[in-house]
Amino acid sequence: MIQAGDLRNGITVEFEGNIYSVIDFQHVKPGKGAAFVRTKLKNLKSGAVFEKTFRPSEKLENAHIERYDMQYLYSDGDLFHFMNEENYEQIALNASDLGDALKFVKENDVVKMLSHNGRVFGVEPSITVELEITHTEPGIKGDTSTGATKPATVETGANILVPLFVNIGDIVKIDTRTGEYLSRA
């Protein structure tokens, strides 16, 4: 058990039958009235984010999340297949369980499996990935305004915004948490 007053970013808690990760927290002591903790929680199963206010003395159940490496093998329609590289055990997850977690993951990439009480509920890709640009409009000569971006499609099919100088065939580094272009590789 953990008290709401002890919540910090990254802590996982079990609340109302779901598992949440604390994205943001703020201890508030108004001039009049009791103190409270304002939190922003992310549901690790659905990806939904919401705000919740707790009294500092409220107790929440600590959720222990196991993270282990698995290799993404392939997709056959609605199922995504993964393999443990140590014992070659394979598991398949539904697309509904994964959401858009795999939009920056290629076949044979290693991802982190997330499980709680032995039940796999999600996947975490690497924080940064390098992918090839498969489609984007060509940059126009002289169009070099600072910070201008254009839409591009990477080899996994995900759409991102890239600077005007990026062309088809370029390898780019992407932050998978935000989907932002970082640099050319």
In tens, the pLDDT along 56-112 reads 888 888 888 888 889 988 888 888 889 988 888 888 888 777 777 788 888 888 988
Starting at the edge strand that comes first in sequence, how are the strands of the sheet with 159-163 ordered? 159-163, 149-154, 128-136, 171-175, 180-184
Structural domains of the chain, ranges and CATH numbers in brackets = 2-62 (2.30.30.30), 66-124 (2.40.50.140), 128-184 (2.40.50.140)
For 110-149, the DSSP string reads: EEEEEEETTEEEEEE--SEEEEEEEEEPPPPTT---TT-E
Contact 41, 31 (CB under 8 A): no
Query: Which residues neighbour 57 within 8 Å (Cβ) at sequence distance 6 or greater?
Result: 3, 4, 5
Long-range contacts of 88-93 (CB under 8 A, 24+ apart): 91/120, 93/120, 93/123
Q: Across all residues in the chain, what is the average pLDDT?
A: 84
Q: Is this prediction's pTM over 0.75?
A: no
Instruction: Give buried/exposed letters for 42-62 (b at 16+ CB in 10 A, else e).
Output: bebbeeeeeeeebebeeebee
The band of 140, judged by pLDDT with boundaries at 50, 70 and 90, is: low
Rounded CA separation 183/185 (Å): 6
